[in-house]
């Protein structure tokens, strides 16, 4: 194999190693049972599950030895992953493949057998290995047993990959459901529930401080007539255009929501009344200039603004913004009105207000 081919093969092998996500993870009872079983079946003092990393051999499970990782020296596990079949060295002290390995010698291992751990994608990621202090032999049945135990290790590794995929899929579904619970499906803005929660949070955070919180209510002008003339599909597009106009003016810390029907609400964090008026004016101008596909004219909106510092609660703030919205409607629509300072009596809102 060419140098380039070997490098590509090693890159694919390392990708398989990292796909399992077991490097440097705590001990695991499932793998420890397999190494204990291997040591008992073969009557050896040491059995390991090794994962061969780029420049080290890391042990996921070690029976009979206090070792977490070792250098990737040739001769033992580093050589075993290069084989398709179990790599057996009956006398490591006299075998040219292993005599240079630091774990071989008078006080080291005299026997080594490692079955490669072959990933589902085909790459060899590590070994299930058994070691003895003295030379010994493995017969065919023992070699097959070692391969079977190695297959159990791979099965455990694959189960963990599958479990992570299931957990990730469930998490994604839960996230999507949570988003649906607080998102308006047509405009992709926050919905009324999310708005009410956020407004309460902002008021709670501002209580006892000098931070202003402002609310803007925007209601599309004469929207029923627009729907009747162009149909609900075009009406839906108009709502989406309005949502985008409001969203485009909002800062990351603000919240734009669809309150219901053709009404939108905005929470402006840290904005006093004048700053909120300026924001609403920009949004109104942007909406007025926007086009609605399928209609020969766009839509406008009337805006009511209310601001407070340490308000009593969200209902009071919304009532003042709603009263300001009514004045904007009554004053000719497509305009911004600001509620009087908190504490001033709100203007009465006439029932059956025309859109």
Catalytic residues: 262
Looking at the DSSP bridge assignments, the partners of residue 116 are: 127
User: How far is residue 311 from each of residues 51, 140, 208, 255, 337, measured CA to CA in Å?
Assistant: 61, 83, 10, 18, 19
């Amino acid at each position: 194999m060419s140098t380039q081919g070997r490098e590509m093969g090693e890159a694919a092998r390392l990708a398989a190693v990292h796909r399992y996500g077991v490097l440097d993870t705590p001990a695991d009872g499932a793998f420890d049972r397999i190494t204990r079983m291997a040591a008992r079946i073969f009557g050896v003092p040491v059995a390991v599950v090794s994962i061969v990393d780029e420049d080290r051999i890391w042990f996921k499970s070690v029976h009979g030895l206090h070792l977490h990782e070792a250098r990737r020296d040739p001769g033992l596990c580093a050589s075993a992953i290069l084989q398709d079949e179990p790599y057996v060295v009956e006398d490591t002290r006299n075998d040219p493949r292993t005599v240079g390995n630091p774990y071989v010698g008078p006080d080291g291992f005299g026997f080594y057998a490692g079955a490669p751990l072959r990933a589902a994608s085909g790459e060899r990621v590590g070994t299930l290995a058994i070691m003895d202090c003295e030379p010994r032999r493995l017969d065919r049945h023992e070699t097959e047993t070692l391969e079977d135990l190695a297959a159990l290790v791979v099965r455990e590794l694959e189960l963990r990959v599958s479990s992570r995929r299931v957990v990730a899929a469930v998490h994604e579904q839960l996230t999507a459901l949570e988003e649906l619970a607080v998102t308006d499906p047509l405009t992709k803005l926050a919905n009324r529930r999310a708005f009410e929660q956020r407004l309460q949070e902002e008021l709670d955070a501002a209580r006892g401080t000098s931070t202003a919180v402002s609310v803007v209510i925007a209601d599309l002008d004469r929207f029923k007539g627009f729907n009747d003339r162009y149909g609900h599909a075009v009406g839906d597009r108009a709502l989406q255009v309005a949502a985008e106009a409001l969203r485009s003016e909002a800062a990351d810390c603000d919240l734009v929501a669809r309150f219901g029907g053709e009404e939108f609400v905005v929470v402006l964090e840290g904005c006093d009344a004048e700053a909120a008026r300026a924001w609403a004016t920009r949004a109104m101008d942007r909406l007025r200039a926007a086009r609605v596909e399928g209609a020969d004219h766009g839509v406008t909106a009337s805006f009511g603004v209310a601001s407070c510092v340490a308000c009593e609660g969200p209902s009071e703030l919304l009532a003042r913004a709603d009263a300001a919205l009514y004045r904007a409607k009554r004053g000719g629509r497509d305009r911004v009105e600001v509620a009087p300072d908190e504490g001033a009596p709100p203007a009465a809102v006439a029932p059956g207000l025309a859109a």
